[in-house]
Amino acid sequence: MRVLEDTVDRLAAVPAARPLRVVAAGGGTGLPRVLAGLAGGVDEDGRRLAVTALVTTADDGGSSGELRRRYGVPATGDVRRCLVALAGGLSPLAALFQHRFDGAGALAGHTVGNVVLTALAQQHGDFARAVEAAAAMLGARGRVVPAADGPVELIASLDDGREVLGESAIAAAGGRVAGVRLARPVPAPREALEAILEADLVVLGPGSLYSSVLASLLPDGVAEALRATAATRVLCVNLVTEPGETDGLDAAAHLRAVQRQAGEVVDVALVHRGPQPAAHRAALQARGARPVEVDRAALEALGAVPVAADLASASEPGRHDSQKLAGALLALARAR
């Protein structure tokens, strides 16, 4: 009996294995795909995951844009999608958060989650606290941190010398984007910087290169934290180009855009290996998208290790499969 008691005491004195700390940055529809694959909370070796999503709040279109203009809250849409992804289908509220009102009334076009986040921001007087409250409601397995504490406006510089104000106007501008910046300096939340500095793995993308991925890195302090962290930093290169934003760009050009914006912050370029199904190719051509070409030597010349894997969704043309993507990312983390 004493041996059993001693064993229990000794095990109780040993701290639990530290979780694998993952930070994923971006927005739009790309970042939720990363989070959905990690929402199980453990990797295949049984190690716990501590996931932090760093989410851009620069969206100024649709429901998010209207709520921004009416109530002065940061953009809610990307935050909402990330919260739902981290709920992993476990919360009965998740589907309700995604419901979009139809009809012609005052709520037409708004999603329930966007309205709830706006209401919580009013109740708490702070958007970050509102996001925490929504995460608790949904049972999210991870933390969602807005990249900026308040509303921000994105400015895109185009190759032809024009400047475009507003995230929703970038794709419609009809020119190649050379870079993005915020209309005014905004500090990143301390929680975001601490998460990056303490991370084992930092994931950039996939998603709209300028209006989501790079937009999440613009608040003051984020690029510096990315350069200082000891984490493995992975750029998830998009499977296809995005009309109006990355037309004609190959994988190396995606990486160069990140380096121009944030410096040497990518250790691994994770790219797709394998052809797109014929049915997918037709759908992509119809929307003006093309597979992103990969030149391994060009990526290596830029200082990144190219890693190729089958990452494509079998059902959604040009989109990553959440589980395939999570498997590749966690394999990179284990290989540290």
Q: Please state the rounded mean pLDDT for residues 205-216.
A: 96
Distance CA 118, CA 73 (A): 7
Amino acid making up residue 50 = A
Q: How high is the pLDDT of residue 13?
A: 41
Phi and psi for 223 in degrees, rounded to 5? -60, -40
Domain assignment of residue 315, yes or no: yes
Interval 112-124: pLDDT, tens: 999 999 999 999 9
Domain assignment of residue 1, yes or no: no
- Averaged pLDDT of the chain: 91
HSE, side-chain direction, 13 A CA sphere, residue 148: 26
What is the domain-level CATH number for residue 229? 3.40.50.10680
Number of structural domains, the chain? 1
Task: Record the pTM.
Answer: 0.92
Domain assignment of residue 28, yes or no: yes
Domain assignment of residue 6, yes or no: no
The answer to whether 238 and 272 have CB atoms below 8 angstroms apart is: no
Domain assignment of residue 193, yes or no: yes
Interval 226-277: pLDDT, tens: 999 999 999 999 999 998 889 999 999 999 999 999 999 999 999 999 887 7
Distance CA 272, CA 238 (A): 8
Q: How high is the pLDDT of residue 176?
A: 86
Residue of 332, 320, 334 lying closest to 35 (CA atoms):
320
Residue 10 pLDDT > 50: no
Of 16-20, 28-32, 156-160, 288-292, which range is least confident?
Answer: 16-20
Q: Which domain holds residue 127?
A: 16-334
Domain assignment of residue 3, yes or no: no
Q: How high is the pLDDT of residue 37?
A: 96
The answer to whether 118 and 124 have CB atoms below 8 angstroms apart is: no
